[in-house]
Chain A
């Protein structure tokens, strides 16, 4: 198990859309390292062949009928938006195409 480095935390913060100050970066690196260190008891176990369980009571095939149900009122929804124009949610420009 490789130790958690400052760059890892910076990278992960970026992935999670969080910006950290230098001191926060240091603090979080230390704190997260401790948690991962504590988890090394688990990480070092040989659990080859153990299958992760999906639902604790084996529920499968939960589906609903293809029926239309009432929608939300658009005005009510847009009223809670930080910025709405023309019946749409407005955001600062999107740079880059969707992945």
Chain B
């Protein structure tokens, strides 16, 4: 499949039309969506209208933007006006938002053509997409295995060449982990770089929207479109979108890279090998590498599994059957709330709501949530100290390659452990990218993770590009 950069160039020059590119994309979707269950909703009508608008602009002699005519998949926890947004939950089944997320407006302004809404773990809670209320997504590279989660659908859309790019959300690894398991690139931007307005909140202090792509240049192009201050999001960074594409070819000469013990320990052999080879590739390209230990990172999982559910328990309170979505009636409004939420939420969502409610409740706040916030401060300090010694960190994205359906569902904790390498970045609000680097068991892809301080995306893309070339994708 053509890259996004290629499509945009050809559409803007008139060499191809947005409608033609959309047609190709829809064919790919139709060919495998039943099998893979990537899309919960394919918006043929809306996509066609968007594609036609792009072609009109070009026909009148203008440029339709950096993503002109590029088909894109959007994770179904982002609002798109008039299009069903379910968050893969029965409680929002059939709901069509009366407004669009800022990122969706930006994509349309850049000429992108949203093809549909992709499957996810319900309300973004999960690491395999098995928690979707509408059935899981299958890994395009091996359909007996999970694509990862929670943005499994978006990762699979790109991996299956349905769309060259997609967007997902990452709260504890939900972009990077599925990217690694599906063999594509996934980025979690600095907290506040991309507006959260219109992203259905899971954990407000951790959520970020980010790109999926097959090439580093496409990922950078997409992130440039998504990023920049939004007056509708109070946590949005004040500056406009940074220049990223221009820096993709900067290389890593003179960069210092720390290989972090806590970001590889416990990973499978094949993953460790991939990290080792990535380290060599960076050294070959002129970086110096050292081994680092950041022991504070080990507390990340515990802190995350208190902070995220706590915020989620509050963010999900609004699903009460009053104003939109599912309603199961009751004798009085409280009974209706209870009946609605009990019927509408899946087990994992209920689990996290209860965990979060408990962590915040009277008598337990200090020991759990309060303590977790302090651990988070420790972690930010630990990263800051590390970045005084090095410019970037290197580690694994996730401990294993894609696992089989049902392999980790018996025990929630075992599923949570797949986020152990990705969670610290969310807690610190910093940036990270997962880059496919080689294959493991059965030819399944392995991802390695590059981490940087806040606002270091340009540096990360440059290093990712070095790895991309070393992995044979020039």
Contacts and interface: CB of A to CB of B under 8 A. Distances in A.
A50 B378 contact: yes
Contacts of A1: 367
Contacts of A85: none
A12 B313 CA distance: 11
Contacts of A45: 299, 371, 375
A50 B342 contact: no
B98 A35 contact: no
Given A53-B377, A53-B380, A57-B429, A4 B332 contact: no
A51 to B, nearest CB: 7
A62 B338 CA distance: 36
A96 B424 CA distance: 44
A17 B454 contact: no
B350 A28 contact: yes
A4 B358 contact: yes
Interface in A13-63: 13, 15-20, 28, 31-32, 34-36, 38-39, 41-43, 45, 47, 50-53, 55-57, 59, 62
Interface in B340-393: 341-342, 345, 350-351, 353-355, 357-358, 361, 367-368, 370-378, 380
A5 to B, nearest CB: 11
A22 to B, nearest CB: 14
A39 B368 contact: yes
A95 interface: yes
Nearest to A21: B342
Contacts of B375: 42, 45, 47
A41 B380 contact: no
Chain B interface residue bracket vs A:
35 or more
B274 interface: no
B247 to A, nearest CB: 21
B294 interface: no
Given A34-B411, A93-B332, A15 B299 contact: no
A68 interface: no
Given A59-B192, A76-B98, A28 B333 contact: no
Given A18-B345, A89-B322, A92-B333, A35 B368 contact: no
Interface string A76-98: 11001111000001011111000
A47 B412 CA distance: 28
B353 A19 contact: no
A93 B335 CA distance: 10
Interface string B198-240: 0000000000000000000000000000000001001101100
Nearest to B95: A80
B338 A92 contact: no
B311 interface: no
A72 to B, nearest CB: 6
A62 to B, nearest CB: 4
B98 A56 contact: no
A59 B238 contact: yes
B39 interface: no
Nearest to B97: A80
A17 B96 contact: no
**Best-buried of A13, A42, A94 by chain B (most CB within 10 Å):** A42
Contacts of A43: 302, 367-368, 371
B342 A18 contact: yes
Contacts of B358: 4, 8-9, 12, 32
B461 interface: no
Given A42-B372, A89-B322, 6 more contacts: A20-B350, A32-B355, A53-B373, A59-B238, A64-B231, A95-B333
Interface of A: 1, 4, 8-9, 12-13, 15-20, 28, 31-32, 34-36, 38-39, 41-43, 45, 47, 50-53, 55-57, 59, 62, 64, 72-73, 76-77, 80-83, 89, 91-95
Interface of B: 95-96, 98-99, 190-192, 231, 234-235, 237-238, 298-299, 301-303, 305-306, 313, 317, 320-327, 329-339, 341-342, 345, 350-351, 353-355, 357-358, 361, 367-368, 370-378, 380, 411-413, 416, 428-430, 454
